[in-house]
Structure 1
Amino acid sequence: MPQFDFIFMLTRNDRTVEDALIHVETALRAGIGHIGFKDIGLPFDELARLSRRIKDAGASAYIEVVSLDRESELRSVKAALDLGVDFLLGGTHVDDVLPIIEGTALRYYPFPGRISGHPSVLEGDEASIVASAVTIARHAGVSGLDLLAYRAKGNAPALIKAICAAVSKPVIVAGSIDSEEQVRAARAGGAAGFTIGTSALDGRFPADGTSLEAQLAAISQAARR
């Protein structure tokens, strides 16, 4: 069975939470191997502490860019390199980002489609999003795609399936996932993984309890089914 990763985001409403350094310890004790945060919400030195803690524990570190303007996005990309994270998710200025990360080990998963607002929303119909995904995935420096399937109008499972069928690179599904049904749809559609932040931190994912420990256990179990 292909690998299907649960990426726990230390974020709420597209911002890294103030108590991320506490939550990361809970996640590490739970055996979570993929942990991320957003490019906004905490000062750089605290993000650096987060990244070091994640990597020192042997987990993979992710940063997701939700800044919409070009200058902010490029600053965040440079910060990602300084932070030493393993994966750069999100962002839309692919042609500007690729020269910055060329020759580095950073794995880059930008957003396909048209992104607006904060929290980020994926706009457009399925055909236009698929076309964007195909174009972006052709770049040699793009490792995969970060698909905001559950922040798009229309049929999210169908969109996931269409994108995964159209590109040969891995797709991570993101955007307000809060149910086992959505996790199963991401896996069935061919995705390589999915992100959850807010619903776990707020105790909204169906589980034996609302504690973060119970939430992470339930989400991890859902990812294995």
Structure 2
Amino acid sequence: MTSFDFIFMLTRNDRTVADAAVHVGTALAAGIRNIGFKDVGLPFEALDDLVAAIRRGGATTYLEVVSLDRDSEVRSVKAAVALGVDYLLGGTHADDVLPLIAGSGLRYYPFPGRVAGHPSRLEGTQAEIVASAVALAAREGVAGLDLLAYRSSLDGPALIAAVCGAVAKPVVVAGSVDSPEQVRAIRRAGAAAFTIGTSALDGRFPAAGPALDLQLRAIDRAAA
């Protein structure tokens, strides 16, 4: 990651979309160089094709784990290792994940706090989430954190600032980001990156139009 990155997720409502391969081409043509997907929605073979297409375009690959039970998460992490993605985002079972990714080169950014439901929600007080973030960031093998700041009932920018102020590792803000104001707030709060999927695919981000290329260019401008 650079100083502040936009990660385009090929996802809607925490599932990789069926036409993700088409959107990869659109994103690459729009100059997007950080592209990801979720561990649910498409079979392994299709995800493998996505990774290959993203790599051919010179972009960085991200897989975000939203499965909450241990066995599903373990299967997804093994798939991430087999796919050879650059970043593994999310997940809540660090004790099980860290041995699986040892030596793989994967950069692991788990979810701090209590995560529930699908689409995922972040639960707990700010103090509890910060404490979880500090404990995770202290672990060898954890490269950063994936924070569901806008999937919480708390004040999003305040939570981001508190987590970023408490840990020395980079923080990605994921989930329910759909406006330039949020993007600017995320940057001001000290995060290293943010993800957007649904709002871009649904044409909801303020832009010159709802077409995906216009959405992605507008988000990239907001990030810059």
TM-score band w.r.t. shorter chain: over 0.9
Matched, 1:216 2:193: no
Q: Does 1:24 align with 2:20?
A: no
Secondary structure of 1:139's counterpart equals coil
The offset of 1:13, in angstroms, is 0.2
CA-CA distance at 1:7 after TM superposition? 0.0
Q: Which residue does the alignment assign to 2:100?
A: 100
Counterpart-to-counterpart distance in 2, 1:204 and 1:124: 29
Distance (whole Å) between structure 1 residues aligned to residue 216 and residue 46 of structure 2 = 23
Question: Does structure 1 residue 59 correspond to structure 2 residue 59?
Answer: yes
Cα distance, 1:156 vs. partner? 0.4
1:61-116 Cα distance to aligned partner (Å, 9 max, x none) = 00000001000000000000111100000000001100010111100000000000
- Identity percentage of aligned residues: 69
In 2, the alpha carbon distance for the partners of 1:109 and 1:159 equals 17
The equivalent residue for 1:162 is 162
What residue ranges of structure 1 are gaps of 5+ in the alignment? Answer: none
In 1, Cα distance between equivalents of 2:46 and 2:55 = 14
1:148 aligns with 2:148: yes
Report what 1:74 is aligned to.
Answer: 74
Tell me, in whole angstroms, the C-alpha distance in 2 between the residues paired with 1:73 and 1:84: 16
Task: Give, in whole Å, the separation in 1 of the partners of 2:197 and 2:99.
Answer: 30
Q: Is 1:138 matched up with 2:133?
A: no
Residue type at the aligned position of 1:211: A
Structure 1: how far apart are the matches of 2:177 and 2:216?
13
CA distance in 1, matches of 2:78, 2:154: 34
**Structure-2 separation of matches of 1:214 and 1:166:** 36
| Counterpart residue number, 1:125 | 125
Across the aligned residues of Structure 1 and Structure 2, the Cα RMSD in angstroms comes to: 0.6
Residue 127 of structure 1 deviates from its aligned partner by: 0.4
| SS of residue matched to 1:3 | coil
Unaligned runs of 5+ in 2: none
The aligned counterpart of 2:202 is 202
Deviations along 1:175-217, whole A, 9 cap, x unmatched? Answer: 1100011101110000000000000000000011000011001
Runs of 4+ in 1 over 2 A off after TM superposition: none
Aligned mates of 1:185, 1:175 — CA distance in 2: 14
The number of equivalent residue pairs is 223
